[in-house]
Structure 1
Amino acid sequence: MRYRITPLRFLQKNWLLVGILCCIFVAGIYPKLGSKQGPLRTEYTVKYGAVFIIFLISGLSLKTDSIFRTLQQYKLHSFIQLFTFLFVPIFAVLFIKCLSIFGVHPWVLKGIITVACMPPPVSSAVILTRAAQGNETAAIFNSVLGSFLGILLTPLLLLFHLGSTTIVPLLDTVFQLTTTVVLPLLIGQSLKSYSSIRFHLMPLNTISQSALLFVIYTTFCDTFLVPETGLSAVDVLFTVFSVLLMQIILMLASFNLANKFRKYFTSQDIIAIVFCSTHKSLTLGIPILRIMFHGYSHLSQISLPLLVYHPTQIILGGLVVPQIKDWMHSQRVKRPPV
């Protein structure tokens, strides 16, 4: 009997991608609703609501022994952080040299370098890793570790590549990471260990991905309300194309490079590598840019690549999740029984 892909089966397999597209459509209709300072008060409902729920569910789902086991995977953590803070900036330098041949706006090129210096986010990479059945514990650990390292490394990288630096608000960043990531993880682990509630019977994955969709929706609302950048339509199109091409190359590079070290990494580890080492944080990135380029007439131009990169990485992630999940299952089939 020939296998047929029905609309219902397609929706079940790709519902995250369909949800992302719906979020983009709804945000485009009335972006003010989900924007910062809008009626939904997303500066609170996202950071201390949706993101808190995402990591609370992670705390309820993670096995305690897997947490301690992941902490010992120093080769995995080193690979992700070196790829994030060393390989990506070097690649970006070479990448903009190629783009400059086509006459891309110089401030857009600087914006691409700025994106490359940013740390990973603490939500999208984790949820996409979870959706693809990758090593979620490693994704959480490296997202948090990358954010802390970014406090020090991002200004130094910007100083090296752009000749400018800034002071990242250390205490504010630590407080946000603690309240939105560490605290809900600890609460989730405590409830799992000491509560009689059967959390495994609840649709935790669906709730977590729904919270991510809310984050995505508010991100696009803010994106659609970005003020005039002062760039031509051609410059904007070049920016979108360049960012998309850059992400595709980085995802392929991280995947193929990690595959070269299969004796160190499992298939689940490689999934975490693909998302954690290529995603960049808008939450930490925008404040850094506003501090660095405060009063600059080119602020909107240099911010454009990061504003494009953030939603694009989510869309690409939604496209990749079904394929990379199928790849992981195929690796399990190929692997002979022990």
Structure 2
Amino acid sequence: MSARRLSAVLHRRLDWFLVGMAAAVGLAWLFPDPGADGGWMHPEVLTKAGVAVVFFLHGIGLPFAALKAGTLRWPLHLTVQACTFLLFPLMGIGLLALAGGHLPAGLRLGFFYLCALPSTVSSSVALTAAARGNVPAAVFNATLSALLGVLLTPLWLAANVAPGGAGVPLGPVVLDLIIWLVLPLVAGQLLRPWLGGWAARNKRFTQRVDRGTVLLLVYTSFCDSVKRGVWTGQGWETLAVAVAGSALLLTAALLATSAACRLLGFPEEDRIAAVFCGSKKTLASGVPMAALIFGASADTGLILVPIMIYHPLQLVVCGVLAGRWARREPEPEPREQSVTPDRSPQTGG
């Protein structure tokens, strides 16, 4: 598949997903009762089942065999993971320090939750391929980030910020993540030899199930928020702050990741992979993880606002970067003249 066609497929798939997110929020605003706590949809059961479905499909689709070509680039891998799980949380702490007490508690937690999330998998790899970057390294880092996030995301939350100012109950949260996230992921990997071919042939169907489940979780998360009046009095100021904060974080991440790669002397293909994997944050995993970590908290809808804004913003900006990098001139081949000085002493006596 050509880079142009791959990029087009990516954007077609994401268009309906972004529209679906807006529709899910709108439905939660108009009809919050079914998806709220105690509603006929039983979100306390639906949420965990949905998380299991999402990560079971991720387990079937994770191409570990394709990672072998990228496993030896450890300076690159350490740079990407440090940007995702160290630089980003530190930027989140700095952003909240600058904001002081002017942000609602749910939005403050949402910004830090965004910063603690792992990177995306599919779009990071697709954009790296479209920009003619190091695809094996992107596959390795995006997959590794998803696995590390199961532990590091709740650890960062437990160490810094929590709903209502209370500490995150790390033990129960990790246990829930293991049961409803890790075990389905492992089950998908174990069944990959039998189901991998089917998943590859029916990729459009599995993607629709995956994204549709995420949209359902977005709906139920916002239902409780609307039902409990979390959005009352927030107004457009909250949305404007979320957009500005997300744009600031994305800009800082892109500049810092690119600068680190140039400082370490990475080739252009590695820098492209690092920028896309190190600056992106996952909505597909972020929503299910939030459902497990924050449970039926009334602030869950507000907590999800930053990642729901950051998600389309990163796709637009990184899509523009991918198009620009795809048009770059190929690196020149070594010239024959570089070896002529070594031959001259032999020919000239």
Identity of aligned residues (%): 12
Question: Map of 1:67-216 to 2, 5 A cutoff?
Answer: 68-69=71-72, 73-94=77-98, 96-97=99-100, 106=102, 108=104, 110-118=105-113, 120-121=116-117, 125-133=120-128, 135-158=138-161, 164-168=166-170, 169=172, 170-188=174-192, 191=193, 202=201, 204=203, 206-207=204-205, 209-216=207-214
**Alignment partners' CA distance in 2, 1:287 and 1:240:** 24
2:277 counterpart residue number: 272
**Shift in Å at residue 111 of structure 1?**
2.6
Residue 309 of structure 1 pairs with residue 306 of structure 2? yes
**Alignment partners' CA distance in 2, 1:224 and 1:197:** 34
**Shift in Å at residue 277 of structure 1?**
8.8
**Alignment partners' CA distance in 2, 1:196 and 1:21:** 29
**Alignment partners' CA distance in 2, 1:42 and 1:162:** 25
**Alignment partners' CA distance in 2, 1:11 and 1:32:** 38
**Alignment partners' CA distance in 1, 2:229 and 2:195:** 54
Instruction: Sort the Cα spacing of 1:66 and 1:148 in 2 relative to 1 into closer, same or farther, 3 A.
Output: farther
**Alignment partners' CA distance in 2, 1:266 and 1:306:** 31
**Alignment partners' CA distance in 1, 2:8 and 2:155:** 43
**Alignment partners' CA distance in 2, 1:35 and 1:54:** 27
**Alignment partners' CA distance in 1, 2:93 and 2:202:** 39
1:80/1:273 contact within 8 Å kept:
yes
1:248 counterpart residue number: 247
**Shift in Å at residue 145 of structure 1?**
1.1
**Alignment partners' CA distance in 2, 1:223 and 1:236:** 19
Instruction: Sort the Cα spacing of 1:328 and 1:178 in 2 relative to 1 into closer, same or farther, 3 A.
Output: farther
Give, as a single letter, the amino acid of the residue that structure 2 aligns with 1:229: G
2:257/2:275 contact within 8 Å kept:
yes
**Shift in Å at residue 157 of structure 1?**
1.0
**Shift in Å at residue 140 of structure 1?**
2.0
Instruction: Sort the Cα spacing of 1:200 and 1:114 in 2 relative to 1 into closer, same or farther, 3 A.
Output: closer
- Offset from partner CA, 1:294-318 (integer Å, 9 cap, x none): xxxxx63x54531312332333344
1:69 alignment partner, SS class: coil
- Offset from partner CA, 1:133-172 (integer Å, 9 cap, x none): 461321221132133123333211127x986423222322
Q: Normalising by structure 1, report the TM-score.
A: 0.71
Instruction: Sort the Cα spacing of 1:303 and 1:270 in 2 relative to 1 into closer, same or farther, 3 A.
Output: same
Give, as a single letter, the amino acid of the residue that structure 2 aligns with 1:274: S
1:24/1:217 contact within 8 Å kept:
yes
**Shift in Å at residue 25 of structure 1?**
5.6
Give, as a single letter, the amino acid of the residue that structure 1 aligns with 2:168: T
- Offset from partner CA, 1:102-147 (integer Å, 9 cap, x none): xxxx561x3333224336556x822332342461321221132133
Would you say how many aligned residue pairs link Structure 1 and Structure 2? Answer: 303
**Alignment partners' CA distance in 1, 2:195 and 2:23:** 39
Give, as a single letter, the amino acid of the residue that structure 1 aligns with 2:62: S
2:56/2:185 contact within 8 Å kept:
yes
Q: Normalising by structure 2, report the TM-score.
A: 0.69
**Alignment partners' CA distance in 1, 2:191 and 2:140:** 16
2:167 alignment partner, SS class: coil
**Alignment partners' CA distance in 2, 1:197 and 1:11:** 24
**Shift in Å at residue 322 of structure 1?**
3.2
- Offset from partner CA, 1:219-268 (integer Å, 9 cap, x none): 332255232435544x2322222112211111111111111123244312
**Shift in Å at residue 82 of structure 1?**
0.9
1:260 alignment partner, SS class: helix
- What 5-or-longer segments of structure 2 have no aligned partner? 1-5, 129-134, 335-349
**Alignment partners' CA distance in 2, 1:288 and 1:222:** 15
Give, as a single letter, the amino acid of the residue that structure 2 aligns with 1:145: L
1:217 counterpart residue number: 215
- Offset from partner CA, 1:45-100 (integer Å, 9 cap, x none): 522223321331123x7514146336772232223211232222222321x14xx6
- Offset from partner CA, 1:1-25 (integer Å, 9 cap, x none): xxxxxxxx99756313321244136
Instruction: Sort the Cα spacing of 1:68 and 1:279 in 2 relative to 1 into closer, same or farther, 3 A.
Output: same
- What 5-or-longer segments of structure 1 have no aligned partner? 1-8, 101-105, 292-298
**Alignment partners' CA distance in 2, 1:219 and 1:337:** 51
Larger radius of gyration between Structure 1 and Structure 2? 2
1:129/1:139 contact within 8 Å kept:
yes
1:125 alignment partner, SS class: coil
**Alignment partners' CA distance in 2, 1:63 and 1:10:** 20
Which range is displaced more, 50-59 or 21-30? 21-30
